Amino acid sequence: MTGAVPAPAVHPIGTPLGLSPTAGTLGVAAWLRDRGIYPPAGRRWTIQIALEPHDRPASFTFAPTKFHITINPDSWGFMFVHGDRTSTIHVTNIATARDRDEHRLLAMAPPLRRIGSLVRDLEARYRFFFPRHHAAVRSDIPSSEPMLRAWISSF
């Protein structure tokens, strides 16, 4: 056909246009699809989750023990703080330690969809529990909090 305009290429699992299919992007796209979360097209967004081993709501401020997850369109990562040691792992193309990995978690870093297994491993290793119902959740994606809380409760 003459004059036909080709349709824009779309990644098979919904990688946002303009982002290359790295491990972080593909992992986030699959994770979003599995949760039924649909970010607004063409806009940056962030999801943050905080867990603390206390019987009160978690926060994003300092705590002597905490587990934070951050998810963006093109990457995700987690930070674990316990005592005077910190591990910060970031996944863009491959999992890398950002700043420090004093708990040696880089080798244990699971795919995003299985981050709950790491949370359970840390609870067993350090003998505490992160009450899932007290998780702090921040999301720029409208109406995503119920799906995020359901995911957190499955850890």
Domain assignment present for residue 15? The answer is: no
Length of the chain: 155
pLDDT the model gives residue 41: 85
pLDDT the model gives residue 24: 81
At 20, is the pLDDT very low, low, confident or very high (cuts 50, 70, 90)? low
The DSSP string of 93-139 is: SSEEEEEEETT--GGG---GGGHHHHHHHHHHHHT----GGG-EEEE
Domain assignment present for residue 42? The answer is: yes
Domain assignment present for residue 17? The answer is: no
Q: Are 103 and 85 in contact (CB under 8 A)?
A: yes
Domain assignment present for residue 9? The answer is: no
pTM to 2 decimals?
A: 0.84
Which of 39-43, 99-103, 116-120 is most confident? 116-120
pLDDT tens by residue, 87-115? 999 998 888 998 899 999 999 999 999 99
Q: Are 29 and 22 in contact (CB under 8 A)?
A: no
C-alpha distances (whole Å) from 136 to each of 7, 80, 91 are 41, 15, 22
Checking if the pLDDT of 16 tops 90, the result is no
What's the domain range around 128? 23-153
What is the number of domains present in the chain? 1
